[in-house]
Amino acid sequence: MFHEKLRRIDDYRLEVPCDFKPGMRTNGIIYVDAVLEKSLEPEAIDQVANVASLPGIVGPALAMPDIHTGYGFPIGGVAAFDMEAGIISPGGVGYDINCGVRLLRSSLRRESVSARMKELVDTLYNVVPAGVGSKGRIRLGPDDEKKILLKGARWAVEQGYGTVTDLELTESGGCLEGAEPGLISPKAYERGRAQQGTLGSGNHFVEVQYIDEIYDEAAANALGLFIDQVTVMIHTGSRGFGHQVCTDFLGIMEKAARKYDIRLNDRELACAPIKSSEARDYLAAMRAAANYAWANRQCIMHWTREAFMSFFRMSPAQLGMGLIYDVAHNIAKVEDHVFEGKTRKLLVHRKGATRAFPAGHPELPGVYRNLGQPVIIPGDMGRASYLFVGAPGSMSETFGSAGHGAGRVMSRGQAIKKAKGRAIWRELEDHGVIVRASGRETLAEEMPEAYKDVAEVVNVIQNAGIAKKVARMRPLGVVKG
């Protein structure tokens, strides 16, 4: 029934028309081809329609090809709102505020690490705290925690966890201005105090990879990439701190929606007008959580580099392990976009979606100004991940956005049930991937079958003109939370 109401615009876009559901103010667009359309969840389609019903939405409600059902917004959802008439919704950012990915290059080649991968993964597992309730190596006092919320990754660099160059290659310099530590609840502070510099659980990881395919030689050369090169990908966010910030504000936003008489198709889309005090407070608290996440990834990257140097007994210059880029994929940002021929300041929600700014965009660091922003799309433990750069189509079609991963096709409960009686770690090892995790259940939840084939997802992104493929990375070893 749901699919019958959709209209195919072209090979890579489906329209959710305005008459799909009462109350829609605009249409929705889902970026899927005929293959991915088969795995579309009716609940996720309905969520696109619900987002299209929110006040002040500009343009269509969008969903990337890794779309699946989330809280309020679908995961893979993108929506832009007018700064005067629009709203902000925590459901459009997610619980794990500024969950994101950073990718590192090295001078190492696959053959120099493959034979020692078990030892290397064990080393990384011991260096990077991971799993539910994991505690970090950093002990924070109240003043330190507030400084992290204001400075983000810059705080970590000031403590010796990295270099200024790392900040230049991090989205927004690793810090959003306008954070307000005074708006954070005591419970959020308590949850965040011991978790700075930790990986967390679920789909978060540190993955050792190698490049097995290059699609754009010029872009790869500009990024310092080559075939069989060892790379490292880090995926984590704001941990319990960001989760608590979201939880705290969902109650506030539910009251705000009633106060401002905002009609919602789904209470999970609780929101407030952007100009309201509730929205201003949420934005300031969200920015604080985003800064916590950037500091978190910065610290983990620093320890990862140290672990590689110690393990291979190489100097920093010999190892050549440098950051390519860090992207956020659960965040809301005020940005300038051209819509219907006019430049407008909009609040763009990206939930399970990343920026994909093209060459020439003023917010890009100088080193990527002529190339486009690196767009990092991780897959699952058993297949591949991809590096793109933003393409002009992203600005005209998706408010400068692309997908963020493979996207689930099974719930965690379904995956655990399907994995019963299987040794997922051994199956992966048989395919040449060494995995360490804090528990068997984590591996079951995150087994490759629980995700869409990332190759299908990235082909839609490429063919829709949102971003351009540069390289493919295959996993060698994975540390899971």
> Sheet harboring 7-10: ordered strands across?
7-10, 13-16, 28-30, 57-68, 75-82, 342-351, 330-339
Beta strand pairing call for 87-88 and 272-273:
antiparallel
Buried b or exposed e, range 17-47, using 16+ CB within 10 angstroms: ebebbeebebbbbbbbbeebeebbeeebbbb
What own/partner pairs with CB < 8 Å and gap ≥ 24 does 111-119 have? 111/228, 112/230, 112/312, 113/208, 113/230, 113/476, 114/476, 116/311, 117/208, 117/434, 117/476, 117/477, 118/434, 118/477, 119/311
Distance between alpha carbon 310 and the CA centroid of its chain, in Å?
29
What own/partner pairs with CB < 8 Å and gap ≥ 24 does 10-18 have? 11/463, 12/460, 12/463, 12/464, 13/464, 16/45, 16/48, 16/49, 16/52, 16/61, 18/52
- CB count within 10 Å of CB 85 equals 13
Task: Catalogue the active-site residues.
Answer: 404
- Tokens 């003109």 correspond to 465
